[in-house]
Amino acid sequence: MALSPEELGYWLVFHRVMGIGPARFRALLQHFGDLRAAWEADEKAWQEAGLDRRTIQNLREARGRLRPEAELERVRRAGVTVLTWADPDYPPLLRRIPDPPPVLFLRGQLADADRWAVAIVGTRQPTGYGREAAQWFARELARTGIPIVSGLARGIDAIAHEAALKAGGRTLAVLPCGLDQVYPAAHAPLAARIVEQGALLSELPLGARVEAGNFPARNRLISGLAVGVLVVEAGPTSGALITAAHAAEQGREVFAIPGSIFSTASQGTNRLIRDGATPVTSPQELLEALNWSVTARQAEVQLQLPADPVEARLLELLGREPMHIDEIARAAGLPVAQVSSALTVMEIKGMVRHLGAQHYVRG
Average pLDDT for residues 283-306, to the nearest whole number? 63
Strands (E), the chain: 81-84, 103-108, 118-121, 148-150, 171-174, 198-202, 228-231, 253-256, 278-279, 323-324, 352-356, 359-362
Task: Look over the chain and give the mean of its residue pLDDT values, rounded to a whole number.
Answer: 90
Q: What is the pLDDT of residues 23-37, one digit of tens each?
A: 999 999 999 999 999
Phi, psi of 202 (to 5 degrees): -160, 150
C-alpha 167/C-alpha 284 separation (Å) is 16
Q: Which of 232, 50, 66 has the alpha carbon at shortest distance from 138?
A: 232
Average pLDDT for residues 163-169, to the nearest whole number? 96
In the predicted structure, residue 167 carries a pLDDT above the cut 80: yes
Q: Which domains does the chain have, with CATH numbers?
A: 1-78 (1.10.150), 112-295 (3.40.50.450), 307-362 (1.10.10.10)
Q: How far is CA 147 from CA 44, 112, 158, 316, 348, in A?
A: 47, 10, 14, 20, 22
Q: What is the largest CA-CA distance in the chain?
A: 65
Q: What is the pLDDT of residues 304-331, one digit of tens each?
A: 444 577 888 888 888 777 889 988 988 8
Q: Helix or strand or coil: residue 163?
A: helix
Q: What is the pLDDT of residues 96-109, one digit of tens each?
A: 898 899 999 999 99
Can you say how many angstroms the Cα of residue 322 is from the centroid of all Cα atoms in its chain?
A: 27
Mention every residue, 6+ apart, whose C-beta is less than 8 A from residue 34.
7, 10
C-alpha 240/C-alpha 238 separation (Å) is 5
Average pLDDT for residues 67-88, to the nearest whole number? 94
**DSSP characters for 257-282?**
----TT-GGGHHHHHHHHTTPEE-SS
Give the pLDDT band (50/70/90) at residue 3.
confident
Q: Which of 150, 176, 174 has the alpha carbon at shortest distance from 164?
A: 150
350 or 62, higher pLDDT: 62
C-alpha 83/C-alpha 137 separation (Å) is 30
